[in-house]
Every structure is written in structure tokens, then in C-alpha cells.
């Protein structure tokens, strides 16, 4: 019964597409969040993962998946038009794309980035080695991204 009730009560935020029991989620309603920064993710579980870090204080936009022609998922099936509308109509200073580096993720990142560049600064999260990881076990792409994303020691 509890699962049935939860399914009836939980839907998607009308602003960002994150799971919510309200028409507009708690993150979008919060005046403490930075509305000038939007972090684009594939799924709601990505919002939850980023929120656990307690580092990001902006707003989100959930695409609802990734572009995957093999699976029949094109840009039309995702919340991309809503994102472009949102960024073009609001004073967004930066869009951070936080999508996993798979083939579908790269395709989605490049597509979304190309649509948003005329309106705002578009960045993506850095990729590299996990804490406790050994260089000898890392693949070439991960090592290359780690080198590209390097920064000056403070």
C-alpha cells in the first residue's frame, strides 16, 4: 500500500524534472540556491549523488536519460527543449554538464552544449582517478582526462 501511495504522490518537478511530491521540487523552491548556475544531469539519482557532496549550491536540470539512437532515444524524448528554454529566458551565468563519460553521455553532452553555448557559459565536470585508485589500473581515457583536468596546487 505504501509503495502504491508513493507512486501516486511522486511526480516530476515542473521546473527541473527532478522527482518531487510537489509541483515544484524543494531545490527549485529554495531561495538559498544559486539560480544563476544550473547543473545538467541524466537522472534524478545523479542529483541525489551530487547533493550528498554538499559542494554544489546551484539548481539542477534532469534530462530524463541520454541520447541513444540504438535504443530509440533521441533528443525529442529528453527534457532538452525545456532546458534550452529555461537557460535562454533566465539569467543563467553557467551551465555545468555532469553526465557520465559513456558513448551516450558524450553524445548528449556535445549536443546539449552546442544548444546552450549561444546563451551562457557551458562547462562540464572533471573526470579522473577515484580516491585510492592506482595509476597502473586506470584506463587510457581516464588517465587522459585526469591530465586534462589538472589544476594548480593551492
Kindly list the domain boundaries of the chain, sorted by start residue: 32-148
User: Which pLDDT score is estimated for 3?
Assistant: 73
Is the Cβ–Cβ distance between 28 and 17 less than 8 Å? no
The confidence score (pLDDT) of residue 104 equals 94
Look at residue 153 in the predicted model and tell me its pLDDT: 64
pLDDT averaged per 10 residues in sequence order, the chain, 154 residues: 75 92 93 96 95 94 96 95 96 94 92 96 86 78 80 69
CB within 8 Å of 98: residues ≥ 6 apart: 39, 40, 41, 46, 50, 124, 125
pTM for the full predicted model: 0.86
| Dihedral angle, C-alpha 103, 81, 61, 17, nearest 10 ° | -110
Q: What is the pLDDT of residue 154?
A: 66
Fold of 32-148: Dna Topoisomerase Vi A Subunit; Chain: A, domain 2 (3.40.1360)
Amino acid at each position: 500500500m505504501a509503495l502504491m501511495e508513493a507512486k501516486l504522490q511522486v511526480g516530476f518537478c515542473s521546473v527541473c524534472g527532478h522527482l518531487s511530491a510537489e509541483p515544484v521540487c524543494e531545490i527549485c523552491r529554495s531561495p538559498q540556491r544559486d539560480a544563476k548556475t544550473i547543473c545538467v544531469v541524466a537522472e534524478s539519482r545523479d542529483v541525489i549523488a551530487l547533493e550528498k557532496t554538499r559542494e554544489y549550491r546551484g539548481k539542477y536540470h534532469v534530462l530524463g536519460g541520454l541520447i541513444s539512437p540504438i535504443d530509440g532515444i533521441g533528443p525529442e524524448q529528453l527534457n532538452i527543449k525545456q532546458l534550452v528554454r529555461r537557460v535562454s529566458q533566465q539569467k543563467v551565468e553557467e551551465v555545468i554538464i555532469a553526465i557520465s563519460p559513456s558513448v551516450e553521455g558524450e553524445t548528449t553532452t556535445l549536443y546539449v552544449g552546442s544548444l546552450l553555448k549561444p546563451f551562457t557559459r557551458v562547462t562540464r565536470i572533471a573526470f579522473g582517478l577515484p580516491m585510492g585508485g592506482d595509476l597502473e589500473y586506470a584506463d587510457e581515457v581516464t588517465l587522459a582526462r585526469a591530465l586534462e583536468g589538472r589544476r594548480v596546487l593551492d
